[in-house]
Each structure stands twice: as structure tokens, then as C-alpha cells.
Amino acid sequence: MNTTASPATVFDIQRIRADFPLLSRTVHGKPLVYFDNANTSQKPLPVIEAMNEHYREHNANVSRAVHQLGEEATAAYEGARDKLARFINAPSRNELVLTSGTTQATNLVAYSYALPRLQPGDAILTTVMEHHANIVPWQLVAQRSGATVKAAPIDQRGELILEQYVAMLTPEVKLACVTQVSNVLGTVNPVREIARECRKRGIALLVDGSQAVPHRPVDVQALGCDFYALTGHKMLGPTGTGALWARREHLDAMPPFFGGGEMIREVRFDGTSFAEAPHKFEAGTPNIAGFVGLSAAIDYYQSVGFEAIHAWEQQLLAYATERLREIPGLRIIGEAAEKEPVISFLIDGTQATDLATLLDLQGVAVRSGHHCAHPLMQFFGVPSTLRASLAFYNTREEVDAFIVALLKVRKLLM
Ligand code: PLP
């Protein structure tokens, strides 16, 4: 059996894989190698079963009903908030707004926090390596307010140039943003240092945690940021789930963004009053079953343990990187000193999309394209990359199968 022992845990990869039914299917008659985890992760049985059970046994709307089912659904939904708050060590469950994902979270901050504060001449600072979800919302509110969006540079290894980020934290910056982990490069950014510099200058910092939460324990208090956005479907949970953590003082000062049911105290035509945070940001019926699934996903991470996950993923990353480097004409984009298991690359004389299409015929799922990071592609002067993104349920044998398939399709295209 393929196991790795650490003092605290024994990582039983075969037992873990047995929890993910999709991993044992075939694609085009070949065993699936799923290396598109940064796009969305696969879901373990406890997540699938928790959602199934919710619909079979407990389905009702939250908050509005006094009947038993309504109470059960509300307890499950609010239980997910408790679990997520503990998962990222938020000081209070009431600082956690449940959203449909990171995109909704960053848009909420854009319209409810940034827009009311922005004056002509102000700026929002982001970086060249961001996902569009951490660029476009800022552009939209900048256009409305006469502010600008500035992007801190990175170097050729795909590392943020920290001194330049800090130098760009000028008085007109009203919000600073950074991803904790790049979805294209795998780079882990020095968020604590950035947060320290932002606090010195009284600038609020938003961290995009979408690609961090699937791989490492997150402690928003230790990070020292003001906002932390995450998405559930990349961390074993269902699509349409996510969260925004924000410091209480910000949530209290922010006006609601969506209006409707669930977010009010009293509605009158001569003036409506709103519920306290986080409910004032959660208009309408939420994705209740989705958050039931996300709760189960958090339990699953905790049962495996991030120490074991990290050790396994880092071994896989090192092995996959080493094997890829053996391929002539292959160029890895993103060689930061600290990375999560995401490898973007190009092969001379081939197009990333052609490679991905042919790899699919070999049963290998990888992503090709711009990965919702146009400015990063522009920085590297490429239209797209091929991206292999790994998870703790992947294996060295899958890396080997991927390399064999890649060599085969490369030959076909050259
Ligand atoms: N930020 C990063 C770094 C991402 O990788 C993604 C998804 O690819 C997002 C934001 C957007 O997440 P969602 O589409 O779930 O809102």
C-alpha cells in the first residue's frame, strides 16, 4: 500500500481514493487522471451523501419556518457557518458571510466596502497574478467612482515583488488585494508581511483564498487581513458555495448589496431597516444543501489533516515538476520558491489547447487556456498555458501516466 508516515499521521492514499467515486471512472476508455483540481475539486462520498441526506430527510427553507424541518435546515445551514468560521479561525461566526463563491465575495466588497469610499484619484491595488475575480470587480467600481486600479508587479519566476507592492501602498490606495496562492503559478504569496504593511498605513487588505484553503490551514487572525474570500467547490464542497470573512467593523459599516428577504429587520415604504451582519448580506434563499455539503467537506479535510495533505501534495509537486523537466522543449511558467501543487507549462512547437484535447483522449484532464488571468498571460507574453493542478487524492502513478500521455501527444503534434 502506498502510504507515507509522519509522526502524527499515516496517509493512506488508497483509502482516501476509495472515498472519491469519480476517481475510479474511465474517460475515453482510459483510467481517469484528474489533474484539474485548481478548477474544481472532486467530491468525497461524505459530501455527496450529506447533500443527498439533506434533500431526503431535512429539506426546508431556513429561518422562515418554525416547523421541525425548517429548524433542522436552519441548524444545518448555520452549522456550516460555525464550521467555516472555525476552519479559518475567524474571531466570530457573525463575521462570516456565506456567498456563492469567491466571485460573489469580491463583488460584495467592491460594491459595499470600496465604492462608497472611492473618490476620483483614489486607487485599488491588486497584483499582476490575480484571477479576474480579483481584478474586474475593482475595475467596475473604479469606473463608477473615478478611481484607478493599480497592479503590483511580479518577477519572471512568478513571485510577487514585495518591495514594489509595499511601495505602491500610497495614501490614495483605499483597498489592497492579493491572492494567497496563484491559480496559474501555484505561488504562495507573503500575505502576513503584506497585511502588516497595510495595517501600518491604515489600508484594508482583501485576500483571495480560493487556491489556499484546499491545501493549507488558514488562520485569518494570524494573517492579519481585513477580508478573506473563499470558494467551496475547490475544497471538496459543492459548486455555488463560498464565503467572505470580514472584520466586524467593516461589516457593520458596509451597506447591504443585495436586497430581498432574509436580510431585513422591518420593511416599510417609509424606510426599511436591516438585519445585523452577516444576515444583511444574505438576501434570498441560500444554497442550503450546498452548505450542508461544504460542512461535510470541512469535516473531511479535518479527518485527513492538513499536515498529511501538505506533505503528500508537496511530494507530488516535486515529483511532477522533476518528471516534466525531463521533457525536451517544456517550459514551466511559475517557479516560485514556495508553491502549492499547480504547474503551468508550455511545450515548444505545440499549442496548449491541442495538447489538452489530445491528453483528454488519453484520460488525462488538465486545463488549457488563460485560466481567468489575462494580465498574467500578458506578463509572460503567452496566450495560454497548460495547467496540471494536483490534489491530495492524486498519486505518483497518476503523475507517471500523465507523463507517458504527454510524451505520446507531444510526438503526435511535432
Ligand atoms: N480566485 C481564484 C484564485 C480562483 O482560482 C478562482 C477560480 O478559479 C476564483 C477566484 C473564482 O472562484 P469562483 O468562480 O468559485 O467564484
- Which residues 6+ apart lie within 8 Å of 411 measured at CB? none
**Whole-number pLDDT of residue 210:** 98
3-class DSSP state for residue 342?
Answer: strand
Model confidence at 44: pLDDT above 90: yes
Q: Is residue 176 within 8 Å of residue 152, measured between CB atoms? A: no
Catalytic pick among 177, 198, 225, 372? 372
pLDDT above 90 (res 242): yes
The size of the chain, in residues, is: 414
Could you tell me the CATH superfamily of domain 7-36+305-413?
Aspartate Aminotransferase, domain 1 (3.90.1150.10)
C-alpha span between 188 and 180 (Å, rounded): 6
Choose which residue among 39, 40, 98, 102 to substitute to test ligand 1 binding: the one with the highest number of ligand atoms within 8 A of its C-beta: 102
CA 384 – ligand 1 centroid, Å: 17
- For residue 202, name the pLDDT band (cuts at 50, 70, 90): very high
| Residues framing ligand 1 (Cβ under 6 A) | 101-103, 131, 133-134, 179, 183, 208, 210-211, 231, 233, 372
Q: At what angle do helices 306-325 and 288-304 cross, to 10 degrees?
A: 80
Give residue-wise pLDDT tens across range 113-163: 999 999 999 999 999 999 999 999 999 999 999 999 999 999 999 999 999
What pLDDT, in 10s, does the model give residues 2-30? 444 444 456 899 999 999 999 999 999 99
Q: How far is CA 398 from CA 31, 348, 361, 404, in A?
A: 9, 24, 15, 10
C-beta atoms surrounding 284 within 10 Å:
10
Active-site residue flag, 198: no
In the chain, what are the helix, strand and coil shares in percent, each to the nearest 5?
A: 45, 20, 40
All three cell numbers of 166:
509595499
Ligand 1 atom closest to the CA of 372, numbered from 1: 8
Q: Which amino acid is at 159?
A: E
Cell of 341: 501543487
Contact 233, 40 (CB under 8 A): yes
What is the position in ligand 1's atom list of the atom closest to the CA of 233?
15
* The three grid cell numbers given for residue 50, joined into one nine-digit string: 450529506
**How many whole angstroms from 374 Cα to the centroid of ligand 1?**
14
DSSP code at position 368: E
Q: How far is the CA of 395 from the centre of ligand 1 (A)?
A: 25
Extents of the domains making up the chain = 7-36+305-413, 48-302
The region of weakest confidence among 29-43, 56-70, 208-222, 225-239 is 56-70
Res. 63 pLDDT band, cuts 50 70 90 = confident
What is the pLDDT at residue 314? 98
366-378 burial by CB neighbour count: b if 16+ within 10 A, else e?
A: bbbbbbbbebbbe
Please give the CATH number for the structural domain made up of 48-302: 3.40.640.10
Give the per-residue pLDDT at 10: 62
Tell me how far the alpha carbon of residue 183 lies from the centroid of ligand 1, in angstroms.
Answer: 8
The pLDDT score that the predictor gives to residue 5 is 46
Average model confidence (pLDDT) across the chain: 96
Mean pLDDT of 39-43: 98
Nearest CA to ligand 1 atom 8: 39
Nearest residue by C-alpha to atom 14 in ligand 1? 103
User: Using one digit for the tens of pLDDT, what is the confidence trace for 340-391?
Assistant: 999 999 999 999 999 999 999 999 999 999 999 999 999 999 999 999 999 9
